[in-house]
Amino acid sequence: MNDSSAKAIATIRARIDGRLPKVAVILGSGLAGFAEALEDRLVIANRDLPGFPHPSVTGHAGDLVFGALGGCQVAVMTGRTHFYETGRADRMKTPLSALRALGCEILILTNAAGSLRPDAGPGCLMLITDHINLSGTNPLIGPGDDTRFVDLIDCYDPELRERALQSAAAQGVELHQGVYMWFSGPSFETPAEIRMAKLLGADVVGMSTVPEAIVARQLGFRVLAVSAITNMAAGLDDQPLDHGQTVAKAAKALDGMTRLLTALLRGLGQTP
């Protein structure tokens, strides 16, 4: 654990009043509204937490919100930092280490993504089953010990995925499943890159999640990830791409995402 993590943990412990979150959630572009569903909320601004991100992207708030849903204590980051903001893939390591040290065992990642699947258009949700990282970078590059050779088979926990599917079905929320391909951004992909992604087996594309999932697996989190589809990927329809649309269309998926996460967390709260 680095110095920033230790300081952040001390600040959090001094303020959370005995809350012991079991699950951490990171909210993607336009999805911060989920944090409002929490009961008994306590908000700590990321600026008070050394090493926590100060998102520079519209649609990303910058707080760490503690609370409960159906008896499950959670810690929710209402925004993240992306690789494209700094050129560093490991910028989420400090917050993730802090959340793990606080006792979180499960990490739920959400994001906004572009879809390659005509049956899963804007407003839909997609459960990530696996990912493709051909970005050429990895958050674990650099000095480290043998724990950096992380096994990514079942990176997205099969038991949690099953729970997510059951929670979605119980809520009547349609939940597609597919493979997420990470692109560095911040420019959107070209139509040729999307045709390549399709050939390689991708179902959705996005600019986040993968570095966090890799760091989280090294830290021993069980990981689940869900995409909110905000657009068809480049060249798959006649719509131009822009970030305003990402934030606006994520709002369309927010209700389903909130219902899905609420049901999932309630279930997790009932598991010892």
- Contact residues toward ligand HPA (CB under 6 A) are 112-114, 183, 188-189, 205-207, 230-231, 233, 241, 246
The β-bridge relationship of strands 39-45 and 63-69 is antiparallel
Q: d(Cα 126, Cα 110) in Å, to the nearest integer? A: 10
- Of 77, 207, 250, 257, catalytic: 207
Q: Are 235 and 124 in contact (CB under 8 A)?
A: no
Our answer to whether residue 29 is catalytic in this structure is yes
Q: d(Cα 112, Cα 106) in Å, to the nearest integer? A: 20
Give me the residue whose beta carbon is nearest to ligand HPA: 114
- Of 8, 77, 82, 111, catalytic: 82
- Of 24, 35, 92, 112, catalytic: 112
Our answer to whether residue 168 is catalytic in this structure is no
- Of 8, 24, 29, 253, catalytic: 29
The closest alpha carbon to 261, from 167, 123, 158, 128, belongs to 167
Cβ 83 to ligand HPA, closest distance in Å?
12
The closest alpha carbon to 45, from 74, 66, 23, belongs to 66
Our answer to whether residue 176 is catalytic in this structure is no
Rank residues 231 and 258 by Cβ distance to ligand HPA and give the closer one: 231
Our answer to whether residue 82 is catalytic in this structure is yes
The identity of residue 113, as a single letter, is A
Cβ 134 to ligand HPA, closest distance in Å?
14
Our answer to whether residue 207 is catalytic in this structure is yes
Cβ 132 to ligand HPA, closest distance in Å?
13
Coil, strand or helix: which one is 29?
coil
Q: d(Cα 246, Cα 186) in Å, to the nearest integer? A: 13
Q: Which residues are catalytic?
A: 29, 60, 82, 84-85, 112, 207-208, 231, 243
